[in-house]
């Protein structure tokens, strides 16, 4: 997986001919398969929190 971004200090518009913008590249050493369990756990936690909030709001009504 490669993450790339443009420099924040690059001017939005120039009066002269456009110059090529350099792009910094950062290599990631992890695989998407390594991140999947973490994402699934976060999804479960959010779903549980939403269920709790929904139960509390229905009890208050």
Mean pLDDT by groups of 10 residues along the chain of 61 residues: 52 58 69 87 95 81 62
Cα separations in angstroms, 19 against 9, 32, 51:
14, 35, 52
Q: For residue 59, what are the contacts with CB-CB under 8 A and spacing of at least 6?
A: none
- What local confidence, expressed as pLDDT, does residue 42 receive? 95
pTM higher than 0.75? no
- What local confidence, expressed as pLDDT, does residue 32 receive? 79
28 closest CA partner among 7, 8, 3: 3
What's the first-to-final CA gap in the chain, in angstroms?
Answer: 47
Instruction: Yes or no: say if 23 and 5 are a contact pair by the CB < 8 Å rule.
Output: yes
């Amino acid at each position: 997986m490669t993450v790339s971004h443009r420099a924040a200090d690059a001017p939005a518009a120039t009066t002269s001919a456009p110059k090529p913008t350099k792009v910094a590249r950062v290599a990631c050493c992890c695989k998407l398969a390594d991140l999947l369990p973490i994402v699934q756990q976060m999804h479960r936690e959010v779903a549980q929190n939403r269920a709790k909030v929904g139960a509390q709001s229905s009890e208050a009504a």
